[in-house]
Copies of this chain bind each other. A is one copy, B any other.
């Protein structure tokens, strides 16, 4: 029953199991983004706007550079998104007080309202999935996801966790 070389059952590491995990990630991610996508489709916004709003809400006053690193896109790409959000009055960009080159980003009331709508929708699905699977499964879920991240992303994730907890 156990792998003789390690004394441990390694059946969960077969290629077939890994393939199923890959497909599970694919299908689940689709569900994960489906609800906010529906909300955003009605406005002139897309997933990129959602991501920006999410992380600005999560770390108010964050700099553009920091947001860039978290999102993993170029400044030009982020700038396009950010510009529309600022124009539409969802995000406020304040020049840094100590370092005036930096822009610190904040959600306006309207921005927070949209963030709420989007994250309510996304959390509802997450909550349903968590509840269906139970606390122990959730712990495992988070463990595997963390192990799947690139090391620098894992560091950023941990930092967010600690700041929010």
Contacts and interface: CB of A to CB of B under 8 A. Distances in A.
Interface of A: 9, 12-13, 15-32, 34, 51, 54, 58, 72, 119, 122-123, 125-150, 153-154, 156-157, 160-161, 164-165
A24 B157 contact: yes
Q: How many copies does the complex hold?
A: 2
A12 B72 CA distance: 29
Contact of A21 (B26, B132, B142): B142
Contacts of A142: 20-21, 24
Contacts of A29: 25, 29
B123 A18 contact: yes
Contact of A140 (B31, B122, B136): B136
